[in-house]
Amino acid sequence: MSFCVAIDGPAAAGKGTIARAVADHFGFAHMDTGLLYRATGVKTFQGLSPLEAAQNLRAEDLKRNDLRTGDAGQAASRVAAEPEVRAALVDFQQAFARREGGAVLDGRDIGTVICPDAEVKLFVTATDEVRAQRRHAELRGKGERVTLEQVLEDLRERDARDSARATAPLAAAKDAVLIDTSEMSIDEAVAQVVALIEARRRG
């Protein structure tokens, strides 16, 4: 039996961490759909057009060790704004979402476009300042030399681009549950989501 959990939200809000923890808790498969766009964006560095990069995406491309860099994130946001790229990746995501045993997908248009019929839809957010602090710590931990001010500016630029794009903009589904992690620990956020999913599964 399939059961889909769609988790959307801006960068560094905690959606990926929550998605992985929830998938582990329930034994669901997990897909960070942002990696599809990060991998596509990184492939454009090799001279491919965004559409060519999406069409030639392979499973091993999602395992690259440079997908979590700031450059990859900006490239992902740029290619994700192209309707042809998004269309090329939709079928792959939808098939994953309806696999037997349950699935958790996190991204920016899961509840609105990829899985509008998901059993559970969440929109995870946090203040710009909190998100910037989290991303700054993550990047510094990987050895990237970047200031907090630069990270905040990059996040706001990416939010504006993701929210304003014509195709599948970043937005909460009308029936999504809002989870604001600004003042929550990850354990508190995960516990809240687990309880919600358990209630939905009981029906």
- Encode pLDDT of 27-76 as tens digits: 999 999 989 999 999 999 999 999 999 999 887 898 899 998 889 989 99
11 is in an annotated binding site: yes
The encoded tokens of residue 149 equal 């001010």
Residue 138: what pLDDT?
92
Q: If you average pLDDT over residues 79-90, what whole number do you get? A: 91
Q: For 111-152, what is each residue's pLDDT tens digit?
A: 999 999 999 999 999 999 999 999 999 999 989 899 999 999
Residue 34: what pLDDT?
87
43 is in an annotated binding site: no
Residue 100: pLDDT over 80:
yes
Residue 172 has a CB neighbour count (10 Å cut-off) of 17
Which residue range forms the structural domain that includes residue 100?
4-202
17 is in an annotated binding site: yes
80 is in an annotated binding site: no
Give the count of domains, the chain. 1
14 is in an annotated binding site: yes
Residue 70: what pLDDT?
85
Residue 166: what pLDDT?
84
Residue 5 and residue 103 in contact, taking contact as beta carbons nearer than 8 Å: yes
Provide the CATH number for the domain around residue 172: 3.40.50.300
Residue 199: what pLDDT?
96
173 is in an annotated binding site: no
Predicted confidence band at 17 (pLDDT cuts at 50, 70, 90)?
A: very high
9 is in an annotated binding site: yes
Residue 203: pLDDT over 80:
no
CA gap 123, 52 in Å, rounded? 31
What is the CA angle 65-69-73, rounded to 5?
Answer: 115
44 is in an annotated binding site: no
116 is in an annotated binding site: no
Mean pLDDT across the chain: 94
